[in-house]
Amino acid sequence: MTGPARLLIVDDEVALMQALCDTLRDQGYETTGFASGPPALAALQNAKFDLLLADLMMPGMDGITLLQAALQTDPDLVGIIMTGEGTVATAVDAMKTGALDYILKPFKLSVIRPVLSRALAMRRLRMENAQLEQRLREHAAELEATNKDLEAFSYSVSHDLRAPLRAIDGYCRIIEEELGDKLDELGQHLFKVVRDSSQRMGRLIDDLLAFARLGRQPLSRQPVSISALVHEVVDELRKEHVRRPIELRVGDLPDDVGDPALLKQVFVNLLSNAFKFTRGKEQALVEVGCEQSTGERSYFVRDNGTGFDMRHASKLFEPFHRLHSGGEFEGTGVGLSIVHRVIQRHGGRVWVEAEVDKGATFYFTLPG
C-alpha cells in the first residue's frame, strides 16, 4: 500500500463523524465521511478505500448491513464497528459477520490508533497472502507446462534416440555375422567397441528417463511388507548370479509405509550394487537389516566388497557420478541417484559408510 491509508467513515451523528474525519486526517490518514450507508456504498463504487469505520446503530442501514454490502463491493476492505457500551455484544456479533474489530464511544485517540493500525496491518497481510497465492498458482501452471515439455522430451529421447541406437547395434551385428571371418582382429575389436558403446548409450537413456520420471510420478503410500519386498528382489538377483557363491543374510525387517514400487526399486539398486561390487571377493557377503536408534528406524544394505574412500561420499548420490571406472564395474551412475530421490520424496534420508576394500553400508529412513 502506497500513500496514506484511505478511511471511509460512516456515522449518523454528523458532528461526531466530521470530528473523527478531521482528527484522523491530522494523524496522517486520508478520510472521507458520510452520515448514512447508501452514499458510502456509492462512494465505494467509484473510489478505493482500505478501511470502513461504521457506526453500529444507524437509521435505515445499520453498520452490520453496511459492512456486508461493502464487502460484496470490495472484498479487500477491512471493517471496524463503532458502538456504545450497551451494545458490545452486538458489536461482537458484527465481528462474526465480517468486522475485524470494534471500538467504543466516546472515542479516545489513544485507543483508536492501535485498532486502526492492527486492522490495516491485517489488510496488508491478506493482500500479500493473496498475491503469494496468485504467484503460487502461476508457478504451478508453469510447472505443469514444464512437466508436459519434459514428457514430450522423454518421448523424443525414448523414441527418436533409441531407434538409431538399435540400428547401429543391429547393423554391426549383421556385419559381424556376415563378414566376421573376413575382419582382422582389430576390425572385430572395433565392431565390438561400437556395439558395446551403443548398448551402454541405450542403458544411459533408460536410466535418464527413469530418473526424470521420479520427479513426476505420484507417491502411492500404503503399508508395505519390507521383508517380502526384499526377498522378492533377492530371488530375482540370485537367478542372475546363480553361479556365484554369495552369502546372504536378511535380518528382521519390520513393515513400514511407502510406495511399494519405488521402495522395491531402492532395494533393487542397493542390492544390485552389493552383488556387483563383491564380484572380486572369494567369499562375498551381503546383509540386509534394520536398526533402531534414538527413536529412528533405519534400514541398511551392507556388503564386504570393494568399498570406496569416504572423502568422495558427498558426490556418490549425484546423477552419473561414479567412483569406479566402467572397465572395472558396469553401470551408468544413476542407480544411487534414484535411491536418493525416492527416499527424499518419502521424507526420509539416505547415507553411506564405507572403507576401501572393506565394503560399504547404505542406510535409509522412512518417516512413515
Domain assignment of residue 127, yes or no: no
Contact between 140 and 155 under an 8 Å Cβ cutoff? The reply is no
Task: Please state, in angstroms and as integers, the Cα–Cα distance from residue 9 to each residue in 12, 65, 158, 197, 362, following that order.
Answer: 10, 15, 67, 79, 68
| Candidate from 5-19, 20-34, 66-80, 309-323 with smallest mean pLDDT | 309-323
Please indicate, yes or no, whether residues 147 and 188 belong to a single structural domain of this protein.
Answer: yes
Q: pLDDT band for 185, please (50, 70, 90 cuts).
A: confident
% of the chain exceeding 90 in pLDDT: 34
Residue-wise pLDDT for 40-82, tens only, equals 999 999 999 999 999 988 998 988 899 999 999 999 899 998 8
User: Exposure pattern of 170-189 as b/e (b: 16+ CB <10 Å)?
Assistant: eebeebbeeeeeeeeeeeee
**Distance, CA of 39 to CA of 184 (rounded, Å):** 101
Which phi-psi region, left, alpha or beta, contains residue 62 (left: φ > 0; alpha: ψ -120 to 50)?
beta
**Count of other CB atoms within 10 angstroms of residue 291:** 11
Please indicate, yes or no, whether residues 171 and 36 belong to a single structural domain of this protein.
Answer: no
Q: Which of 214, 231, 260 is the last residue of a domain?
A: 214
Residue-wise pLDDT for 214-230, tens only, equals 666 678 899 999 999 99
Domain assignment of residue 153, yes or no: yes
Domain that holds residue 275: 222-365
**Distance, CA of 87 to CA of 81 (rounded, Å):** 11
Scanning 75-214, the segments in alpha helix (DSSP H) are 88-96, 109-156, 162-179, 185-214
% of the chain exceeding 70 in pLDDT: 88
Please indicate, yes or no, whether residues 355 and 280 belong to a single structural domain of this protein.
Answer: yes
Please indicate, yes or no, whether residues 208 and 228 belong to a single structural domain of this protein.
Answer: no
User: Exposure pattern of 55-89 as b/e (b: 16+ CB <10 Å)?
Assistant: bbbbeebbbbebbeebbeebeebbbbbbbeeebee
Identify the residue with better confidence: 330 or 354: 354
Write down the pLDDT at residue 100: 81
Write down the pLDDT at residue 366: 92
Write down the pLDDT at residue 329: 47
Q: pLDDT band for 87, please (50, 70, 90 cuts).
A: low
Helix (H) or strand (E) holding 6, with range, is strand 6-10
Residue-wise pLDDT for 309-332, tens only, equals 888 777 777 765 555 444 454 555
Rounded to 5 degrees, what are φ and ψ at 242? -65, -25
- Average pLDDT estimate for 179-192: 80
Identify the residue with better confidence: 190 or 300: 300
Q: pLDDT band for 170, please (50, 70, 90 cuts).
A: confident
Identify the residue with better confidence: 90 or 271: 271
Q: Which of 189, 214, 239 is the last residue of a domain?
A: 214
Task: Report whether pLDDT(296) > 90.
Answer: no
| Candidate from 118-132, 201-215, 293-307 with smallest mean pLDDT | 201-215
Write down the pLDDT at residue 250: 93
Q: In the predicted model, what is the mean pLDDT of the chain?
A: 84
Domain assignment of residue 114, yes or no: no
**Distance, CA of 61 to CA of 36 (rounded, Å):** 7
Domain assignment of residue 131, yes or no: no
Domain assignment of residue 310, yes or no: yes
Please indicate, yes or no, whether residues 82 and 152 belong to a single structural domain of this protein.
Answer: no
**Distance, CA of 188 to CA of 176 (rounded, Å):** 7
Write down the pLDDT at residue 223: 93
Residue-wise pLDDT for 234-259, tens only, equals 998 888 777 778 889 999 999 999 99
Domain assignment of residue 135, yes or no: no
Q: Which of 214, 234, 256 is the last residue of a domain?
A: 214
CATH number, position 12 = 3.40.50.2300
Contacts of residue 206, defined as CB under 8 A and 6 or more positions apart, other chains included, come to none
Please indicate, yes or no, whether residues 200 and 226 belong to a single structural domain of this protein.
Answer: no
Domains of the chain: total: 3
Please indicate, yes or no, whether residues 336 and 359 belong to a single structural domain of this protein.
Answer: yes
Please indicate, yes or no, whether residues 228 and 208 belong to a single structural domain of this protein.
Answer: no
Write down the pLDDT at residue 325: 45
Closest CA to 34 of 4, 60, 72: 60
This model's pTM is above 0.75? no
Contacts of residue 105, defined as CB under 8 A and 6 or more positions apart, other chains included, come to 16, 82, 83, 84, 85
Task: Report whether pLDDT(33) > 90.
Answer: yes
Please indicate, yes or no, whether residues 269 and 345 belong to a single structural domain of this protein.
Answer: yes
Domain assignment of residue 37, yes or no: yes
Domain assignment of residue 126, yes or no: no
Write down the pLDDT at residue 273: 87
Q: pLDDT band for 38, please (50, 70, 90 cuts).
A: very high
**Count of other CB atoms within 10 angstroms of residue 16:** 18
- Average pLDDT estimate for 137-165: 75
Helix (H) or strand (E) holding 300, with range, is strand 296-303
Which DSSP string do the residues of 8-68 spell out, in sequence order?
A: EEE-S-HHHHHHHHHHHHHTT-EEEEESSHHHHHHHHHHS--SEEEEESS-SSS-HHHHHH
Write down the pLDDT at residue 43: 94
Q: pLDDT band for 200, please (50, 70, 90 cuts).
A: confident
Task: Report whether pLDDT(287) > 90.
Answer: yes
